């Protein structure tokens, strides 16, 4: 009886330790934690708060801890609640008394913010690089297809002829905005919380500008209380990842559609499609489906942290320990998603013929016909619209697309066109139609090439 009570007690304590601790996941921050402590100790020595010898011992000890962790020799246990305590206690174990001075003029509250900010900043840079690689892939692909015709759609219905390069450049633009979002978040959040201490600063004569500089931040944060309770940097990366995943999901959706039998515009490499376990003839677009699906969990992580933060009184509250797992998950999700999407795009085969055939469905050049009548014959647009409807009906009656009509057929199609000039035929031509949209940002081959050039320059200089 006594014994079972004891077990129950232990179990409860264990459960509580586990509930309270973050070491199981914040060990991911070991590099940032050690980097932060080394910078902090250097500053303490420069300010004569600790001696130079003590600083050297601390730095050497911390580097040993780093090595132990990287070699897998470090024992992570629930005995130490988080990475900050785990590293500090091992440091004291290795170097003794000097190690007990490293926590002077700081608290875990500013330490966790510093470590996590460093992590988010590093990831913003590496994710940005991956996005740039993806943009390069889109631009390269676009460059090969500035005159590959395809139906441009609205409401997923054939609308007007565009070129495939133009479509790819739409994605290059989306991902460029993502790139810029990571970049501007980096600038906005590049401030060091270290030395804010628990919430109100410290009586020690520290130099927060020095630690900020040593850690690569532009400056220390302005207000200690805000610093220890702020998680905007984490929310920003979650939002930036969410928006980027939304873009990944949109291209994935198009890849799924385009690789279907009904479209047949692209063929994904066999590596990125899987077979069905029951239907031997099938090739499923599992990879883009997963990319589309994973967007959900990334949105979830953003909403979770927004919800965690919404009612927190100043300053630090333990609730914020819930900030990390979602960020780690979103980061690893976008990292793998970007690299896989890049390969999918690089290796897919474009079926130009199918795209061109699809342009001949839906009378894509109907607007061009109406515009011709307005421009060349001074016919009011609404009248031109109804004449065009007659031509479309005629084309349907002989099972042709209006882009395929010859001059005799056009003249036969409507009383108003009996004497129409022969040049009308060229206005119904699909390629001419695409190239006529030559306004800045339009689909013409010329504008698409200009856009590609602009992007190539941007890629070179960013």
Active site residues: 155, 276
Q: CB-based burial of residue 161 (10 Å sphere; 0-12 exposed, 13-18 middle, 19+ buried)?
A: buried
Q: For the chain, how many residues are written?
A: 462
Q: How far is the CB of 117 from ligand ARG (least distance, A)?
A: 13
Closer Cβ to ligand ARG, 81 or 335, answer by number? 81
What is the enclosing helix (H) or strand (E) of 236?
Answer: helix 232-258
Closer Cβ to ligand ARG, 112 or 251, answer by number? 112
Closer Cβ to ligand ARG, 86 or 355, answer by number? 86
CA distance 420 to 384: 13
Closer Cβ to ligand ARG, 5 or 318, answer by number? 318
User: For residue 394, what are the contacts with CB-CB under 8 A and spacing of at least 6?
Assistant: 405, 409, 412, 413, 414
CA distance 193 to 203: 16
Looking at beta carbons, which pairs linking 281-285 to residues 24 or more positions away fall under 8 Å?
285/255, 285/256, 285/259
284, two tokens = 């499923």
Beta bridge partners of 349: 267
CA distance 70 to 59: 16
Q: Determine the Cα angle at 356 with ends 355 and 360, to 5°.
A: 115
380-407 burial: b if 16+ Cβ within 10 Å, else e: eeeebbebbeebbebbeeeeebbbebee
Closer Cβ to ligand ARG, 121 or 436, answer by number? 121
End-to-end alpha carbon distance in the chain: 70
Closer Cβ to ligand ARG, 318 or 382, answer by number? 318
Q: How many beta carbons lie within 10 A of that of residue 75, not counting itself?
A: 9
169, two tokens = 């450049």
Closer Cβ to ligand ARG, 135 or 238, answer by number? 238
The residues of the shown chain that bind ligand ARG, judged by CB under 6 A, are 22, 26, 81-82, 108-109, 112, 316, 318, 320-321
35-62 burial: b if 16+ Cβ within 10 Å, else e: bbbbbbbbbbbbeebbeeebbebbbebb
């Amino acid at each position: 009886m006594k014994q079972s009570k004891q077990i129950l007690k232990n179990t409860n304590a264990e459960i509580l330790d586990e509930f309270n601790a973050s070491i199981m996941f914040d060990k991911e921050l070991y590099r940032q934690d050690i980097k932060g402590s080394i910078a902090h100790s250097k500053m303490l020595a420069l300010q004569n708060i600790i001696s130079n010898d003590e600083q050297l011992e601390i730095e050497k000890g911390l580097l040993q801890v780093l090595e132990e962790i990287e070699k897998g020799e470090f024992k992570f246990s629930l005995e130490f609640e988080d990475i900050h305590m785990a590293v500090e206690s091992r440091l004291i174990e290795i170097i003794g008394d000097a190690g007990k001075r490293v926590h002077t003029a700081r608290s875990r509250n500013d330490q966790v913010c510093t470590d996590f900010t460093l992590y988010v900043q590093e990831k913003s840079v590496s994710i940005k690089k991956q996005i740039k690689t993806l943009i390069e892939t889109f631009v390269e692909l676009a460059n090969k297809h500035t005159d590959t015709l395809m139906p441009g759609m609205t409401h997923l219905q054939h609308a007007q002829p565009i070129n495939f390069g133009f479509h790819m450049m739409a994605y290059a633009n989306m991902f460029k905005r993502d790139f810029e979002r990571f970049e501007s978040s980096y600038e906005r959040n590049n401030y060091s919380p270290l030395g804010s201490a628990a919430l109100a600063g410290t009586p020690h004569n520290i130099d927060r500008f020095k630690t900020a500089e040593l850690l690569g931040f532009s400056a220390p944060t302005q207000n200690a209380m805000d610093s220890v309770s702020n998680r905007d940097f984490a929310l920003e990366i979650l939002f930036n990842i969410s928006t980027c995943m939304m873009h990944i999901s949109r291209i994935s959706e198009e890849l799924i559609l385009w690789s279907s039998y009904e479209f047949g515009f692209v063929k994904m490499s066999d590596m990125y499609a899987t077979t069905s376990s029951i239907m031997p003839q099938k090739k499923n677009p599992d990879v883009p489906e997963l990319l589309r699906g994973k967007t959900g969990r990334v949105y979830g992580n953003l909403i979770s942290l927004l919800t965690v933060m919404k009612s927190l009184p100043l300053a630090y509250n333990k609730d914020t320990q819930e900030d990390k797992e979602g960020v780690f998950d979103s980061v690893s999700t976008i990292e793998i998603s970007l690299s896989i999407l890049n390969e999918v795009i690089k290796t897919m085969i474009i079926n130009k013929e199918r795209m061109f055939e699809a342009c001949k469905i839906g009378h894509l050049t109907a607007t061009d016909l109406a515009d011709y009548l307005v421009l060349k014959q001074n016919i009011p647009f609404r009248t031109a619209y109804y004449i065009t409807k007659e031509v479309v009906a005629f084309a349907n009656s002989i099972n042709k697309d209006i882009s395929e009509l010859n001059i005799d057929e056009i003249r036969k199609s409507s009383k108003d066109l009996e004497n129409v000039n022969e040049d009308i035929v060229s206005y119904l031509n699909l390629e001419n139609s695409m190239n006529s949209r030559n306004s800045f940002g339009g689909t013409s081959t010329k504008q698409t090439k200009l856009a590609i050039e602009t992007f190539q320059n941007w890629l070179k200089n960013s």
